[in-house]
Amino acid sequence: MPSWSGMRHYWVVASALLVSSCTSQLEQPSPFQLTIAHVNDHHSHLLPMQRTRIAVGAETVQLETGGFARVVTQIAAIRQRHEHVLALHAGDAITGTLYYTLFNGAADAALMNQVCFDAFALGNHEFDNGDAGLKTFLDYLSLSDCSTVVLGANVEPEIGVSPLTPKTRWDSFKPYAIFEFNGEQIGLIGLDIAVKTKQSSMPDATTQFADEYTTALYYINELQRLGVNKIGLLTHIQYKNDLLLAERLPAIDFIVGGDSHTLMGDYAVHGLPSVGPYPMQVTNADGDLVCVAHAWQYSQVVGELQVSFNQDRVQSCSGQPHLLIAEDAPEAVTALPHFTAVAPDADSLTLLAQYQQQLDQLTSQVITNVTERICMQRSGVASNPDCGAGRQSDAHRLVAEAFLASAPQADFSLQNGGGVRSEIAAGPISVGDVYRLLPFSNTLVEVQITGAELKTVLEQALSYAMSASGSNGAYPHGAGIQFDIDMSAADGERVSALMIMTDQGLQAVDPTRTYTMITNSFLASGADGWRLLAEINAAGRITDTYVNYAQSFVDWLRKNPEVKRPTAHSTRNYRD
């Protein structure tokens, strides 16, 4: 157990009663400064990012950034520099790389336990494999003496039904915790994003998620009844929602959040997507100061937030984010503020090496069996005669089915021809085969799109596929959707008979209705000629799920004891 574990005490509250031993109330000097070291949304990205592009003046350099072994080093350094420190993780620890696909949370939990987080908030992706999958991960997280408190005040699994709650509501997590530093008590409430988790992840059908504001207000009142008046939120509800919640709630002093993968701090000048200063300062419903902080994504940033209290009110917010870079980075970068060169923690590297060795072995293991050759062709049915007369790409169809299966709230899925890179041979298929089939770093995104916009996007894709400067990799393939293609027709008139599969069977697309489409993040940028998606993205109607598109196919294959050639395709009739 690291030496810092004895420097603070906490109580976990599982009901309206505070479970604690008697403690003396000591007079404390004022102001009191709390330091919070925090991360969020690491999504099983345990290794460093190898080619992060950083603008330095007129030049752009590529750096190795992040990695969980550097997170361990940086949080340990923050703990050593400050007296009163909380180390917090604001959710979405899992789902995103092979480290989760193959180890079901064991690797993430092992690295998190190297940090010994004081608290961890449940995120939406913690439910990607149902309540049972989350229970497995939390069991791994408990395999140390760190005593990380898991928080989810608005998460409501059915007692006696969900593996998370065999006996009581708080068997696996708590609504809040109270931490004490030499007599100063800090209450911390955990919140998960309610609607998104229920509709876009895979919690058990009986697991419910209460409103974030109502839940927070309830537990703020409970903490105040217990005499705790320094109160923070550890949230996974997105940056914009944190700001709105802060302004609506009384008595809140700080919010450490996640879900939106928000980068804060002076990084925009270096070509990185910063939204503004770190921390953001707003006022709560009482008119008092609130400090709000996020720490980007993928184990690349550790936030260091200082909250100074005068009695029970925030006097000031300060601190800085640390974008972690390699020690051998160019001096022009290491000299920049908010870029922190740190060495990876040696014990964490040893752990990672052990998992990497297992990963290399597991990627060769068979997931399922393919009964016959699965043909691949990037564009229309005439492009690959080996697939058979009049037959569209089987590989793209199966990948699109996996996309749709990973997003039960979606009406249909679409995938570009260039996103799938090979056919699938008959016989056993391994994880390694899948990542060769789908080799890019794409994630799945949800798109809110009208029927009229859908028609436009398909026409744009076909136009780009036909153009001399375009690519046939733009050709659309899907699941839950069908259409006819006439490539000889005029631009804008090549798609007809556009239909969406519903519970009542195929239905004609309504131009005025808004549908939920699942596709890949590459297309969400407007790439491959799918230009309208960039506009929809800019309008805020695209949500990144942060699920790697190859992982979705692995998960889908695991549920199928054998894989056969599909009998239907999104292109019903095709004409050159």
pLDDT, tens digit, 9 for 90 and up, residues 46-73: 999 988 899 998 899 999 999 999 999 9
- Residue 31 banded pLDDT, cuts 50, 70, 90: confident
Q: H helices of 104-204, where?
A: 106-115, 130-141, 194-200
Tell me the mean pLDDT in the region 470-490: 92
What integer pLDDT is reported at residue 51 of this predicted model? 84
For the cut 60, the answer to whether the pLDDT of residue 539 exceeds it is yes
Question: Pick from 135, 174, 172: which is nearest to 19 by CA?
Answer: 174
Q: Is 274 within 8 Å of 301 (Cβ atoms)?
A: no
Please report where in the chains the tokens 């793209």 appear, as a residue: 396
For the cut 70, the answer to whether the pLDDT of residue 16 exceeds it is no
Question: Is cis: bond before 31, omega within 30 of 0?
Answer: yes
Close Cβ partners of 406 (under 8 Å, ≥ 6 residues apart): 444, 518, 545, 547, 552, 555, 556
Query: Between 378 and 142, where is the model more confident?
Result: 142
CB-neighbour burial class of residue 20 (10 A; exposed 0-12, middle 13-18, buried 19+): middle
For the cut 70, the answer to whether the pLDDT of residue 142 exceeds it is yes
Tell me whether domains 27-358 and 366-575 share a fold: no
Q: What is the Cα–Cα distance from 562 to 236, expressed in whole angstroms? A: 37
Element spanning 82, H or E: none
Close Cβ partners of 207 (under 8 Å, ≥ 6 residues apart): 127, 131, 155, 156, 157, 158, 162, 164, 198
CATH architecture of 27-358: 4-Layer Sandwich (3.60)
Q: What is the Cα–Cα distance from 520 to 413, expressed in whole angstroms? A: 9
- The Cβ-side half-sphere exposure at 486, using a 13 Å CA radius, reads 11
- pTM of the predicted model over 0.85: no
- For strands 289-293 and 280-283, give the pairing: antiparallel
CATH architecture of 366-575: Alpha-Beta Complex (3.90)
What integer pLDDT is reported at residue 384 of this predicted model? 61
What integer pLDDT is reported at residue 30 of this predicted model? 62
Instruction: Look at phi and psi of residue 307 and say left if phi exceeds 0, alpha if psi is from -120 to 50, else beta.
Output: beta
What integer pLDDT is reported at residue 522 of this predicted model? 92
Q: H helices of 285-421, where?
A: 331-334, 346-362, 394-406
For the cut 70, the answer to whether the pLDDT of residue 11 exceeds it is no
For the cut 50, the answer to whether the pLDDT of residue 391 exceeds it is yes
Instruction: List phi, psi (to 5°) of 404.
Output: -65, -40
What integer pLDDT is reported at residue 362 of this predicted model? 85
Q: What is the Cα–Cα distance from 485 to 465, expressed in whole angstroms? A: 13
pLDDT, tens digit, 9 for 90 and up, residues 206-238: 999 999 999 999 999 999 999 999 999 999 999
pLDDT, tens digit, 9 for 90 and up, residues 396-422: 999 999 999 998 889 999 999 988 988
What integer pLDDT is reported at residue 413 of this predicted model? 98
pLDDT, tens digit, 9 for 90 and up, residues 171-202: 999 999 999 999 999 999 999 999 888 877 88
For the cut 90, the answer to whether the pLDDT of residue 310 exceeds it is yes
| In the chain, domain spans | 27-358, 366-575
For the cut 90, the answer to whether the pLDDT of residue 262 exceeds it is yes
- Residue 386 banded pLDDT, cuts 50, 70, 90: low
CB-neighbour burial class of residue 364 (10 A; exposed 0-12, middle 13-18, buried 19+): exposed
Question: Pick from 98, 78, 548: which is nearest to 352 by CA?
Answer: 98
How many helices (H) and strands (E) the chain has is answered by 15, 30
Percent of the chain having pLDDT more than 70? 93
Question: Pick from 277, 276, 216: which is nearest to 252 by CA?
Answer: 216
For the cut 70, the answer to whether the pLDDT of residue 3 exceeds it is no
* Mean of the per-residue pLDDT values of the chain: 91
What integer pLDDT is reported at residue 389 of this predicted model? 65
Q: Is 99 within 8 Å of 107 (Cβ atoms)?
A: yes
- Residue 576 banded pLDDT, cuts 50, 70, 90: confident
